[in-house]
C-alpha cells in the first residue's frame, strides 16, 4: 500500500526499515526528504531489513520540439529578431524558462526582404509560433510564417486590447489608432 508523504515526515524506525532514495535517517528514525509516495521493498534477505523509499510522481514536462506550436511573450526586439519567453508548448504550460527567437526571415513566407521587426512585434505581445529549429544553446528558432501564427494578443499604446483588422494591422477599439503587427489568423477552438 502506498502513502503520500511530505519532507520531514517520520516513516519508521531504523530498527524496522532501512533508508533508501528520497529518505534520510536521524536519531534512529527514517524520514521523508521529498514529497512523494512511500514505498516499502519487502524483497530483502533474512539478514537485511526491508527498505523504504519515497518516489516522486513524474509530472508531464513540456519541452519544445521541432514542429511544435508554442505561445510566448515578446520580451525584446532588435532590427534582426524578436526574443520570446516561451510560456506554453502545444497546450501544456512550461515549468522551465525557455527562450525563442523569431528572425526577420522567419516572420512570414513572402516578401522577406521588406520585413521590419518593429512593424511585426512589440514587447509585451503574445505570439503563437512554430518551432523550426533547436537553435543555439540559449534560444529555440521560431517561425510565424504560417497563417495561424503571429500576434494573438496585443495592447495599444493607450493600454487597451487591440483587435486585428488585417493580417498585418491591429486597431485599438477606443482610440482608433492602427498599429502594425504580424497577426495570427483566428483558429476555431
Would the CATH topology of 3-55 be identical to that of 69-180? yes
- CATH 2.60.120.1440, applies to 3-55: no
For residues 120 and 146, is the Cβ–Cβ distance under 8 A?
Answer: no
Q: Tell me the per-residue pLDDT of 174-185, one tens digit each, with 9 for 90 and over.
A: 999 999 999 988
pLDDT at 141 over 90: yes
What global pTM score does this model have? 0.65
**Tell me, what's the pLDDT at 189?**
46
Which among 178, 170, 171, 103 has a CA at the least distance from the CA of 142?
A: 103
Domain range annotation of the chain:
3-55, 69-180
Fold of 69-180: OB fold (Dihydrolipoamide Acetyltransferase, E2P) (2.40.50)
Mean pLDDT computed over 116-122: 90
Q: How confident is the model at residue 79 (pLDDT cuts 50, 70, 90)?
A: very high
**Tell me, what's the pLDDT at 144?**
93
Q: Strand 18-19 and strand 140-143: pairing? A: unpaired
**Tell me, what's the pLDDT at 56?**
78
pLDDT at 120 over 80: yes
Amino acid at each position: 500500500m502506498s502513502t503520500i508523504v511530505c519532507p520531514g515526515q517520520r516513516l519508521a524506525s531504523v530498527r524496522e526499515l532501512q533508508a533508501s532514495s528520497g529518505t534520510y535517517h536521524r536519531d534512529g528514525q527514517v524520514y521523508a526528504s521529498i514529497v512523494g509516495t512511500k514505498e516499502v521493498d519487502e524483497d530483502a534477505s533474512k539478514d537485511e531489513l526491508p527498505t523504504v523509499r519515497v518516489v516522486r510522481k513524474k509530472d508531464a514536462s513540456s519541452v519544445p520540439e521541432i514542429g511544435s506550436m508554442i505561445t510566448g511573450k515578446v520580451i525584446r526586439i532588435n532590427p534582426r529578431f524578436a526574443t520570446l519567453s516561451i510560456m506554453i508548448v502545444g497546450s501544456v504550460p512550461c515549468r522551465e524558462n525557455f527562450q525563442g527567437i523569431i528572425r526577420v526571415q522567419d516572420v512570414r513566407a513572402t516578401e522577406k526582404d521588406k520585413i521590419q521587426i518593429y512593424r511585426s512585434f512589440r514587447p509585451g505581445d503574445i505570439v503563437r509560433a512554430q518551432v523550426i529549429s533547436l537553435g543555439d544553446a540559449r534560444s529555440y528558432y521560431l517561425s510565424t510564417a504560417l497563417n495561424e501564427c503571429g500576434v494573438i494578443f496585443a495592447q495599444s499604446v493607450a493600454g487597451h486590447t487591440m483587435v486585428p483588422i488585417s493580417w498585418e494591422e491591429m486597431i485599438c477599439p477606443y482610440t482608433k489608432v492602427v498599429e502594425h503587427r504580424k497577426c495570427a489568423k483566428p483558429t476555431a477552438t
